[in-house]
Amino acid sequence: MDTIPAAARNGGSMKDTLLKRFAEVFGDAEGARVYFAPGRVNLIGEHTDYNGGHVFPCALTIGTYGVARKRADDKLRFYSMNFEKLGVIESSLEDLKPSKDAGWTNYPKGVMWAFGEKGMKVPHGMDLMLFGNIPNGSGLSSSASVEVLTGYILKEFFGFEVSNQDIALIGQYSENNFNMVNCGIMDQFAIAMGRKNCAIFLDTADLSFEYAPIALEGAKIVIASSNKKRGLGDSKYNERRSECETALAELQGEIEIASLGDLDEETFEKHKSAIHSDVRRKRAKHAVYENRRTIRAVEALKRNDVAEFGQLMNASHVSLRDDYEVTGIELDTLVEEAWKVPGVIGSRMTGAGFGGCTVSIVKDESIDTFIEQVGKAYEAKIGYVADFYVVEIGDGPVEL
């Protein structure tokens, strides 16, 4: 996927390029404003966010651009530069209902609906054009990026008194209740609250958080997209969540805890026999151990011990593969090949799993070798190519 429109590549600014395209689609660009919300990658702490544990994501400098203009009526007109064949998709504020036919527009419509559910009814329609340079289906949270972008535009356009944290919660509410994906808070939170060169150490149990500077002297974050589209992802995601909820209920019969994130490894091992299924025991083990790994990983970074951080990333992948069983041959191949490359500090799958991406910390001098070696091995084994992105950590949503 080409991540930058040709005109912007050829010296024009992204903002000018987007406004020009908006004018071509909607007749003119008068009154249109341009916004950006990032994508995110989670460095460690996977499938802990709905288990009351810690996560450690950061916002990226790739994400979703939106050009929006208020209308005087209640009509909604949507257009995506990523799905140009679909043309302009029309709807209205009277029709904020999820539907298969609405496709990608279910995400912005869901946020408009959620604002209304929270007592902030959207008073006017709008023309909205999106362009995302997050690889589609990669697991870098393009849907959450669209949700936060939409929430930020609604706040700016209509003066709703919401903080960026509120926008994250509304985005999660819309995904849970409009798009029926039982996601945790991490994706929307990381995007709405992003800060340049920092990751967010977030306790999902109470939303307390701190920014932790990421100083990878002589190394960079490299994302590898498996290019396997996640077909099973959402249903398997809901299944894993349900397994953890049942395991928690079984443990609560024996010990007083509010979530799996309340346990350390020792307490879990002592009481795990309360879980009456081997499968659920493995799922709960991952949630508990991954949470503790995340806490230790942030402590390691604070000591500038990037090597230990990398080892914890590797252990995270093994747990996601063996105990949580959400990796699959594509992600396992990317990670296992990454581990063979000298100069790779750590590598793991990131996101929901079943396709999507891996995240690796790679020494600068090894990046070219990493991309070539892992890419070649992946194509030979899987039969199609992976894409690689050397990324930077950026800020949250903004008007350009």
Catalytic residue among 49, 127, 187, 203: 187
Please report the pLDDT score of residue 180 as a whole number.
85
Burial 333-363, CB ≥16 within 10 A → b, else e: bbbebbeebeebbbbbbbbbbbbbbbbbbbb
Please report the pLDDT score of residue 228 as a whole number.
84
Segment 32-38 mean pLDDT:
96
Residue 231 has pLDDT above 80, yes or no: no
Tens-digit pLDDT profile for residues 334-392? 999 999 999 999 999 998 888 889 999 999 999 999 999 999 999 999 999 999 999 98
Tens-digit pLDDT profile for residues 149-208? 999 999 999 999 999 999 999 999 999 999 888 777 889 999 999 999 999 999 998 999
Residue 4 has pLDDT above 80, yes or no: no
Please report the pLDDT score of residue 182 as a whole number.
76
**Catalytic site residue 187?**
yes
Residue 397 has pLDDT above 90, yes or no: yes
Q: Is residue 57 classed as helix, strand or coil in its secondary structure?
A: strand
| Rounded distance between C-alpha atoms, residue 292 and residue 315, angstroms | 12
Please report the pLDDT score of residue 149 as a whole number.
98
| Rounded distance between C-alpha atoms, residue 137 and residue 356, angstroms | 6
Residue 127 has pLDDT above 90, yes or no: yes
Please report the pLDDT score of residue 2 as a whole number.
41
| Rounded distance between C-alpha atoms, residue 151 and residue 184, angstroms | 17
Segment 265-286 mean pLDDT:
97
Which residues pair with residue 224 across a beta bridge? 358, 388
Which residues pair with residue 220 across a beta bridge? 362
pLDDT-based confidence at residue 75 (cuts at 50, 70, 90): very high
pLDDT above 90 covers what percent of the chain? 81
Map out the domains of the chain with their CATH numbers: 6-213 (3.30.230.10)
Please report the pLDDT score of residue 136 as a whole number.
64
pLDDT-based confidence at residue 139 (cuts at 50, 70, 90): low
In angstroms, how far is CA 280 from the centroid of its own chain?
Answer: 25
Tens-digit pLDDT profile for residues 232-267? 456 688 899 999 999 999 999 999 999 999 999 999
Q: What is the mean pLDDT of the chain?
A: 92
Cβ–Cβ under 8 Å, residues 48 and 171: no
| pTM, entire model | 0.87
Q: Which residue has the higher pLDDT, 139 or 62?
A: 62
Please report the pLDDT score of residue 277 as a whole number.
95
Report the 10 Å Cβ neighbour count for 221: 20
pLDDT above 70 covers what percent of the chain? 94
CA distances from 10 to 14, 67, 246, 323, 389 (A): 10, 20, 55, 48, 21
pLDDT-based confidence at residue 141 (cuts at 50, 70, 90): low
Q: Is residue 213 classed as helix, strand or coil in its secondary structure?
A: strand
Residue 10 has pLDDT above 90, yes or no: no
